[in-house]
Structure 1
Amino acid sequence: MRQATRLLKIETGGRGFYEFTAALADFVRGERMGQGLLTVFCRHTSASLLIQENADPTVLKDLESVFSRLAPEGADYAHDTEGPDDMPAHIRAALTQTQLSIPIIGGSLAIGTWQGVYLFEHRRRPHRREIALHVIGA
């Protein structure tokens, strides 16, 4: 068994979804792992990770709409240190994931045909996000 790690940086333009499936596939391919497990970890509390459909952009539009209703700005939150989108960002992150595990089979990510891996940015202003990658396998 071998292991490898990398920190991936993703520049966001504000709230939304940022697909980075290709960067994960490149990392796995570069490590020449035939089988194993890739762990993807978001090092932030106001952004998260999703595996979601990458064929029809209306899926992402609808997800954003639902999360806007679940965690609206302007509610009576005690925590608003960084502005009105601060606490809604933490709620969105709590409802999604900060860590994903993706099997590696035959040297490739074992995700479905229409699946992509996304950073889900919950803040309105641009951020530089860090994603920690860890792969173990042979």
Structure 2
Amino acid sequence: MWLHRSLTLKPAPRGFHLITREVMAALPELAEVQTGLLHVFIQHTSASLTLSENASPDVRRDFERYFNHAVPDGWENFEHTLEGDDDMAAHIKASVLGASVMLPVQGGRLALGTWQGLYLCEHRDRGGPRRLVLTLTGE
């Protein structure tokens, strides 16, 4: 089986947001897959995806603090500045974290660890809706 679907996420404030439930809700066919893979791709250059701890909100806040420290908005050496102080920093953060994740499917469910969840990493102050491409394969 091959299934391709688009999912548009509502605008989210800057930060790291769990989206595991939204992705699973967009794919009711997941329940039919005993063994497979789900590829999740974000169609943006200033937001990213990652997999990390899904229980403590402290983790999400610490991710945001770390990346803002490592890649500050408005760094004086950025040349790409026409779209605002947060734009170039957002591109770098998105490149470091990545535009896609590949998740295993087992027994009709995502085979995630107990404390793992999929994050939308919003790197802009006003990023707007974010589009994901979901590709499910398996049997």
TM range (shorter): over 0.9
Task: Indicate conservation of the 8 Å contact 1:9/1:130, yes or no.
Answer: yes
Q: Distance in 2 between matches of 1:80 and 1:14?
A: 21
% of aligned pairs identical?
41
Q: What is aligned with 1:117? A: 118
Q: Distance in 1 between matches of 2:36 and 2:18?
A: 22
Q: What is aligned with 1:42? A: 42
Report SS of the residue matched to 1:93.
Answer: helix
5+ residue gaps, structure 1: none
Task: Indicate conservation of the 8 Å contact 1:29/1:107, yes or no.
Answer: no
Q: What is aligned with 1:17? A: 16
* 1:65-84 alignment runs, 5 A limit: 65-76=65-76, 77-84=78-85
Q: Distance in 2 between matches of 1:25 and 1:45?
A: 23
Instruction: Determine if the alignment matches structure 1 residue 8 to structure 2 residue 16.
Output: no
5+ residue gaps, structure 2: none
Task: Indicate conservation of the 8 Å contact 1:53/1:115, yes or no.
Answer: yes
Report SS of the residue matched to 1:84.
Answer: coil
For each residue in 1:78-133, what CA deviation from the matched residue of structure 2 results, as whole angstroms up to 9, or x when unmatched? Answer: 00121000100001001101010001011110111111101100000141100000
Q: What is aligned with 1:87? A: 88
Runs of 4+ in 1 over 4 A off after TM superposition: none
Q: Which moved more, 1:7-16 or 1:18-27?
A: 18-27
Q: What is aligned with 2:135? A: 134
Aligned length: 137
